[in-house]
Chain A
Amino acid sequence: MKPAMDAPGRPPTLNRLLLRLITLRLLVPLLLIGAAVFVAAGYLGEKRIEAEQHLLTYSTASLVERYLDHASRMLDAVARAAQVSTPAERALLLKTTLAAYTHFDTLYYLDKRNKITSMVPTQTRYLGLDMSNLPYFGQTGLLAPADGGVIISSPFISIRTGAPTVYLIKRLPAKGTVIGELSLASLQREIMGLKGRVANSIIYILDQSGMVLAHPSASMVRERTNLGNLEIFRRALAGDVSLVFNDGRRWMLGSADRIESGGWVVVTQVPLSAAFGPYAWTLVVLLLATFGIWAALSWHLRGQLRRHVVKPLERLSRLATALADGNYAENAAAAGAPATSAELDRLTTEFRSMSGALKEREALLRESEERYRSLFDRVPAGLFRSTPDGRIVDINPALQHIMGFTEREALLDFRIADIWVTPEERVKWAAAVEKDGIVRDYETQMRRRDGTLFWARLNARAIKGGGDQLLFFEGILEDISERKRAEEERTRLEEQLRQSQKMESVGLLAGGVAHDFNNLLTPILGYCDILIKGLAPADPRRIKLERIREAADSAKELIKRLLAFSRKQLIELLTVDMGDVIRGFENVLRRTIHENISIEVEISPSLGLVCADRGQLEVALLNLAINAQDAMPDGGTLTIEAREMDLDESYTSSHPEIAPGTYVMLAVSDTGSGMDKQTLEHIFEPFFTTKEMGRGTGLGLATVYGIVKQHGGSICVYSEPGMGSTFKIFLPRAAADARVVAERLPLNGEVERGSETIMVVEDNVMVRELAYEMLKQLGYKVVAAETPEQCMELMNELEFPISLLLTDVVMPNMNGRQLFERIRDLCPHTKVLFMSGYTSNVIGRHGVLDEGVQFIQKPFSIQVLSQKVRQVLDSRG
């Protein structure tokens, strides 16, 4: 059943529809019929009143006519008699006539000059008066009837009686005039008796000018009221008439007739309200009855409609609402409700089957929905759906967790723009998604609810509706902060590794160069020494040779530092007291460092021992001090501090080259200009210098770095521009029971000689020949071999034992150590002195000389060689 859609918007209810139908199809026709009946009845009633009034006016007019006619005949008779009478007879005639016919108030007899000669009743004050100016009396203005009959004057109010009066005038040719003053008071009595059958109906008589002659209201007559303005009067002057008119106060239905003899008008009138009052009341009753019937019918029909149609429909409507709410139980319960009509029964049945089908379909839908909802809720990635203007529509618990919201709704109120760190970026991203349809692996920083930032990866696509209109963005948001951190860490570590590899390769290069350089420098220095030795002190060539030697010394020093930095320097670790080292070196520092810099030394009393090469430590200390001095060109304070420190994992995690443990710290601080971050990053690189060209080699701090690393320690620097710098060196503390080892005696400048047999093994011919030459000069017996193999051959040929093996460390096929071990097998007393340009694992690990191994650094002078050889030969074992 489809409701009547007869108006835009909401259709009316059935009740209203029924009311409208009853009103339009029943009430309105009833009213129209009622109105038509009323009009018809009113019309007929009006016609009846009109006819009645017409009859009344006509009979009244006739009455007046007869009255005037009667009086006129009477006067005419008197006049005829008077004409032939003597004055005395005339007076008597008038007197008897007046007595017989009482309607005359006065009878006059006028002479030829219109003077009153006699009158009845007699009033002496009027006798003899001239009446010629009165209309109809004098000769002028006289409207004598053609038949010479009686003239009727205009009515006037008699001064004596106060009643309307007319003069009846009968002219007597050549004699005089008989005048009768006819009272119209009797007309008043007549009309008072002639009332119409209609209530409030009145009759009145007006003269030709509209003055009231007779009226139920007598005062109107006396006061000479003029009703000449009434429409009915004006119309009646032209003939009898019936019409509705206004008397100045009310509407009247009137009828009027003209009285021919006097030109007067008789009017019958009744107020419209009185005339039609009964009809109006009938109409009211009729209409009320109509309304009553209509109301009763409406009431009854509405009740029936409600019981048989509306209620069942409302029940179905409620069921539909319940259905919409998913309440199927109510539908099942309602299935048994009885139907009141076949149509409703069919509707109920169809409704029931629809409800069943819906229930089944919804169950399937819900199951499907739950499956997907479960997926949505449990997937570990953050899922979202947002509107183009940045409102979040839906998110899953994973995303809620990522964003740091405890309640999902709170995030739904959140604006996307607040999540993005820069809203502009979000706009660009949204534009890209809208343009390409999908944007993958977009990484950006976002803000959690608590304001903390995190890295997010977005995979999103645009959902568009009809007309390519963008509806939503939906996609996956992952928190990749952890991965980002790991990546950053890896990058940092890679950078560190690359840095150390760079240092390593620089070291390798330096080591390689140093090796060859030392081989080259060895003959230069050696032969220089030999030549200088051979020249007299005053020999002018001596100066030149010394110049060569100085240059070679500088070269040697440079190589030494390169080796130190690249950790290819062979160092000898002894257990030393750092405090002793500093204190022992303090004087040297005070002499070296500029006077405007004060040096403060703070050494912790409970300082542990370290395993270190004292000389190398001094080199490091010196280099740091010089670096500090360069940072303080205008003076300042240099602080050297040494104390013990426990380094835990928090420190070692960022310095992976050292392990947690107890360390001795050597800190060198200045109050200088400090360094920026960029400088700090490169501070330990070789040849990196902030000094102007020519002032530094750029190897100072690189050397320090190499020394520290070679000692298994760590170095770090703290500095800020303008705040000075602090370099901290951490060296592993030696075991608690370690003792300070006495150092070998330093070499003195003497050349010591000998006569033992010395085997020189050196693949470099120049070095070999030099060593041979030097040792020869020192008095030793020398055998030289180019290779270990040749050495072994020579050994077999020699008849006398070899006291000392002076051998290169690194050689093809066999290294110096292996060679020594072969020789030891042959000659157990043979001692060995290794010579090398740089470190090698053959005689030590990582540049640290194995204990008991004797070694001479290339290049060497004849003094060093003589003393070292002597030292080894003289040593026990």
Chain B
Amino acid sequence: MIVFLQGLFLACFFLGGCYEREPVRIGIAVQLTGKQAELGVQERNAVQLAVESINGSGGIQGRPVELITRDDLGTPAGAGAAMRDLIAAGVVAVIGPATSSQAMVEAPMADNARLVMLSPTVSSPLFSGKDDYFFRVFPTFSKGAYHLAESALVNRGVSRIAILYDSDNAAYAGTYAGVFAERFRALGGAITGEVGFSSRTEPDFVQMLAKVFAGRPNGILVIASDDDTALIAQRTRMRSGDIPIFIANWAMTETLILNGGKAVEGLEGEQGYDMNSKSPPLADFLARYKARFGQAPTFGAAFAYEAADVLAAALRRTGGKPAGLKQALLGTRDFKGLVDTFSFDGYGDVERPHYICVIRDGRFATVDVIKRDRP
């Protein structure tokens, strides 16, 4: 009896905290600091919101989800360090990265470690058609850029277009430019110039635009981050008040609007997401995000939330274990996202509609939905 009393007492005292079940650890590697951190922060916030929601409804088969966050700093070195950290932490999957250039570093590492990596916003077609551990819920822009070229030429009557792109994210920007230009030329349009710049060097866009306008374009395509796109838009409007500006989906964040002032009114781009949809899940998400983080989410947050959701659904099928997770994700069909349903193809890519958006009165307005596929 004495031993029992003592044992019970000591056990209660020292071991009380150990009864909880081992959590399911999910990593997230996105850019959280630096000039282009907005997209990553939004995605991190959305994933955090999703994890809080999952844990609030009982976790994955009774196990709580623990989110391990790593800042990939937006650099190749940062991407490598973040991935090594997460692999060492024993995560079952990684959500991220936000951009294609970071994915060029992180995707092979994940594949090497046989660790599922699910990106919310990497859209470069460079990652398409590969049987690896890299997944994404974002549609490749090969279709979006293709249709944006059509829209520019056919709907807006732009026949000569100049392209500015951020060469720091060449995997995205360079490819996007290529797809767009190919289609644009194919439709009979002319590319008056392709100007790449390194966003890290904070270039002088005034001089750059002078060079662009020298080719007498009647439209401009900017493939850059929100911050840079805002500056380029402001500088462009100072030179030409009405030249149509087309932007890549990378830039379509709140920061673009905040920093763009009146100059961003009328900017047109394609997006894999209809942020103006009246879909109840989306409305619920928007409201919760706003309440949690004090600002409205953009497409990145929505995609990240879907990524966390679809990953959790797959993990429920594997009992929270990494084994079989790839197959579980590949087997995902008609998953209900916030707006559309989507399915993974055999290479971990998704098919979903594209939306043509225009900024009006400081908001993204959806003007067209392109459901047809690229021929």
Interface residues of A (CB under 8 A from B): 23, 114, 124-126, 128-135, 154, 157, 159, 162, 207-211, 219, 222-224, 226, 228-229, 273, 280, 283-284, 287, 291, 295
How far is the CB of B211 from the nearest CB of chain A, in Å? 16
Contact of B262 with A130 in the complex, beta carbons under 8 Å: yes
A435 vs B156: C-alpha distance when bound (angstroms): 127
- Assess whether B213 is interfacial by the CB under 8 Å rule: no
How far is the CB of B373 from the nearest CB of chain A, in Å? 36
A23 vs B45: C-alpha distance when bound (angstroms): 57
Contact of A159 with B234 in the complex, beta carbons under 8 Å: no
- Assess whether B238 is interfacial by the CB under 8 Å rule: yes
- Select one of B10, B33, B48, B260 contacting A162, CB under 8 A: B33
The 3 closest A-B pairs by CB, nearest first: A209-B294, A130-B261, A223-B32
Known: A133-B362, A222-B33. 20 other contacts (CB 8 A): A125-B202, A128-B234, A129-B259, A133-B258, A134-B258, A134-B259, A135-B258, A208-B294, A209-B292, A209-B295, A219-B71, A222-B71, A223-B32, A223-B44, A224-B32, A224-B41, A226-B45, A229-B292, A287-B9, A291-B5
Interface residues of B (CB under 8 A from A): 1-2, 5-6, 9-10, 13, 17, 32-35, 37, 41, 44-45, 48, 52, 69, 71, 202, 204-206, 227, 231, 234, 237-238, 257-264, 292-295, 362
- Residues of chain A contacted by B262 (CB below 8 angstroms): 130, 132-133
- Residues of chain A contacted by B17 (CB below 8 angstroms): 273
Contact of B260 with A133 in the complex, beta carbons under 8 Å: yes
Q: Given A124-B204, A125-B231, A129-B261, do A159 and B35 touch, yes or no (CB 8 Å)?
A: yes
- Residues of chain A contacted by B13 (CB below 8 angstroms): 280, 283-284
A291 vs B8: C-alpha distance when bound (angstroms): 14
Q: Given A228-B292, A287-B9, A295-B2, do A159 and B227 touch, yes or no (CB 8 Å)?
A: yes
- Select one of A130, A157, A280, A283 contacting B234, CB under 8 A: A130
- Residues of chain B contacted by A135 (CB below 8 angstroms): 258
How far is the CB of B32 from the nearest CB of chain A, in Å? 4
- Residues of chain A contacted by B6 (CB below 8 angstroms): 291
- Residues of chain B contacted by A210 (CB below 8 angstroms): 292-294
Give the number of A-B contacts (CB < 8 Å). 88
- Residues of chain B contacted by A23 (CB below 8 angstroms): 1
Q: Given A223-B41, A223-B71, A224-B32, do A133 and B294 touch, yes or no (CB 8 Å)?
A: no
A280 vs B295: C-alpha distance when bound (angstroms): 44
- Residues of chain B contacted by A130 (CB below 8 angstroms): 234, 237, 260-263
- Residues of chain A contacted by B261 (CB below 8 angstroms): 114, 129-133
A134 vs B362: C-alpha distance when bound (angstroms): 10
- Residues of chain A contacted by B260 (CB below 8 angstroms): 130, 133
How far is the CB of A806 from the nearest CB of chain B, in Å? 136
A/B interface sample: 28 pairs, CB < 8 A: A125-B202, A125-B204, A125-B206, A129-B261, A130-B260, A130-B261, A130-B262, A131-B261, A132-B261, A133-B260, A133-B261, A133-B262, A133-B264, A133-B362, A157-B37, A159-B34, A207-B294, A208-B294, A210-B292, A210-B293, A222-B71, A223-B32, A223-B69, A224-B32, A226-B45, A226-B292, A228-B293, A295-B2
- Residues of chain B contacted by A287 (CB below 8 angstroms): 9
Identity of the chain A residue whose Cβ is nearest the Cβ of B17 in the assembled complex: A273
A132 vs B264: C-alpha distance when bound (angstroms): 11
A263 vs B41: C-alpha distance when bound (angstroms): 22
How far is the CB of B52 from the nearest CB of chain A, in Å? 6
- Residues of chain B contacted by A228 (CB below 8 angstroms): 292-294
How far is the CB of B365 from the nearest CB of chain A, in Å? 15
- Select one of A128, A209, A223, A291 contacting B238, CB under 8 A: A128
- Residues of chain B contacted by A131 (CB below 8 angstroms): 261
How far is the CB of A162 from the nearest CB of chain B, in Å? 6
- Residues of chain B contacted by A162 (CB below 8 angstroms): 33-34
How far is the CB of A394 from the nearest CB of chain B, in Å? 51
Greatest chain A CB density within 10 A among B17, B32, B48, B237 is at B32
How far is the CB of A215 from the nearest CB of chain B, in Å? 14
Contact of B234 with A229 in the complex, beta carbons under 8 Å: no
